[in-house]
Structure 1
Amino acid sequence: MILLAATPIGNLGDASLRLRETFEAATVIAAEDTRHTAQLLRLLGIENRPELVALHDHNEHERAASLVERAASEDVVLVSDAGMPTVSDPGFRVVQLAAERGIEVSAVPGPSAVITALAVAGLPTDRFAFEGFLPRKSGERSRTLGQLAAERRTLVFFEAPTRVAATLRELAGAFGEGRPAAVCRELTKLHEEVRRGSLGELAAWADSGVRGEVVLVVGGAPQVDASPDAALEEVQQRVAEGERLKDATRAVAEATGLSARELYAAALAARTP
């Protein structure tokens, strides 16, 4: 089988007994960084010396088939540098191909930066959406933020420390400076910090520099009571900016509590000369 093994995101004490047993029994480990994984095995006192195979963003497409083929006759353990593989980390193509070929896929659950940040942020956890890293290109980034502005679920992002201040300013511009948020850095590590406040406040705080691994958690958009005419105007504006009509009506309906079907019909009717 393919066995996805979650590794510590900072504190080695979070390595479970099952993870240690998995490493001790492994014959082959597909690792995002073989040097990092070799060091992890040493730090955990693992006496076993499995074969380490590099599996990262640049070679996963080519290497997936050979790993899945091996998994037909032996367990292939798949790890990323930290947390659960496939979650903004390599592994998805391997799992997808294994599923297509009928190879069993299982997991050794464990630490996750996404869930840890969500739990400590102090924002609603009943419904959330993980967005990973925002697009790098400014145009695509702006469009993505525009589409997320009306999202009512709590949002979780990854961001590089050097870009945290800029991203918080962009979030404040797209979502409003008063939207509640949290910057969670160095989770489970010695210098762990959770800074809570509005997007505007956090952007000003981050201007002095942020270090370490960072997860941003942003509260969802509040429900806005809007008239059907105002909602239709918002849909039309989104479509004019390049959003699909179906996506625009769904987003505005969720933000206003109005019927998506009725908004869609109204937008189509407004197109008719």
Structure 2
Amino acid sequence: MANDRAGTDPDPDGGSGVIVLAATPIGDTGDAPPRLVELLRRADLIAAEDTRRLRALAARLDVTLTSKVISYHEHNESERAQVLVAAAQEGDTVLVVSDAGMPGVSDPGFRVVRAAADAGVRVTAVPGPSAVLTAIALSGLASDRFTFEGFVARRPGERARALAALADEPRTMVFFESPHRIADTLAAMADAFGADRAAAVCRELTKTYEQVRRGPLTDLARWAADGVRGEITVVVAGATPSASEPADHVDEVLARIEAGERLKEAAATVAAAHGVSRRELYEAALRAR
């Protein structure tokens, strides 16, 4: 029915449709891939994270939507994935878009790909804007190896534990964060990774007031305490190998415990400060108690 209409290569079998995950602009509308514009005009079914934002984007792109549009977000993702797969099985071209960037990267998309794969339905993608790649390119930090960690946990205890587990990560790390939590998150990162760990806060990427602030985590935390607005991506340098051994820092951990810290948190903080293995330092301190 729809493969020839959508500007995509027809399925080799000639009968089934296709699900297309398409990247949308993260800021500047001019970054919209031409194939996205074509698919917005010709897809049979469009699944959008926010249908109002989709219609606003289409208007900015001078596209009149004639396709059926349905919502596809975190609260209905599992149920709607089956609907989208069924439509593709009927021969439709199904377009999946999130509010910004690539569906499936901290946005709905994974479940429909999984469901389509299980059902033998073809899935393809239209590459395009990505906050993750844009931020790491602008950060000035190593980009040959990196890990995307998504949003940090909201609760302080969970956040501290999650960051402590990443203290020894040697790859550059990329995070998403909201403006009202960014100051607390940067302070928690300074505690977990060390105050001097290099990082970059990238806000409003590709928009008029784009800003990239680089520096040690402790400096960035102080800067963010005055308030930061907009969409935010944080890039943090990976841990550097240390010449010291975990056992060299046991006394520092024990001193923190004596002052009232829990062993796990004390070991994580000291390990991050000296670039040693958190697990090995924890075990060494446990034996020394």
TM-score normalised by structure 1 residue count: 0.84
Distance 1:59 1:48 in 2: 23
Corresponding residue number in structure 2 for 1:215:
233
Distance 2:191 2:264 in 1: 17
Corresponding residue number in structure 2 for 1:53:
70
Q: Is the 8 A contact 1:185 1:214 kept in 2?
A: yes
The verdict on how the C-alpha distance between 1:118 and 1:20 changes in structure 2, with shifts beyond 3 A counting, is: same
Identity %: 53
Distance 2:194 2:276 in 1: 17
Matched, 1:100 2:100: no
Q: 1:79 aligns with which of 97, 107, 129?
A: 97
Matched, 1:181 2:199: yes
Which residue identity lines up with residue 26 of structure 2 in the other structure? I
Q: Is the 8 A contact 1:231 1:256 kept in 2?
A: no
Q: Is the 8 A contact 2:24 2:100 kept in 1?
A: yes
Which residue identity lines up with residue 67 of structure 1 in the other structure? L
Corresponding residue number in structure 2 for 1:69:
86
Distance 1:48 1:88 in 2: 26
**Structure 1 unmatched ranges of 5 or more:** 234-239, 243-247
The verdict on how the C-alpha distance between 1:229 and 1:210 changes in structure 2, with shifts beyond 3 A counting, is: closer
Q: Deviations over 1:100-123 (max 9, x none)?
A: 111111000000000000000100
Distance 1:154 1:98 in 2: 32
TM-score normalised by structure 2 residue count: 0.80
The SS at the match of 1:10 is coil
Distance 1:51 1:32 in 2: 14
Distance 2:246 2:57 in 1: 57
Q: Deviations over 1:141-180 (max 9, x none)?
A: 1111110011111111100011111111110111111001
The SS at the match of 1:107 is strand
Which residue identity lines up with residue 94 of structure 2 in the other structure? V
Corresponding residue number in structure 2 for 1:2:
19
The verdict on how the C-alpha distance between 1:228 and 1:11 changes in structure 2, with shifts beyond 3 A counting, is: closer
Matched, 1:146 2:168: no
Which residue identity lines up with residue 238 of structure 2 in the other structure? G
Distance 1:227 1:218 in 2: 23
Corresponding residue number in structure 2 for 1:237:
none
Which residue identity lines up with residue 148 of structure 1 in the other structure? L
Which residue identity lines up with residue 141 of structure 2 in the other structure? L
Distance 2:20 2:67 in 1: 14
**Structure 2 unmatched ranges of 5 or more:** 1-17, 252-262
The root-mean-square deviation of aligned C-alpha atoms, in Å, is: 2.6
Distance 2:209 2:128 in 1: 21
Q: CA deviation at 1:227?
A: 3.6
The SS at the match of 1:161 is coil
Q: Deviations over 1:10-63 (max 9, x none)?
A: 000101212111212111100000111011111101134111110000111121
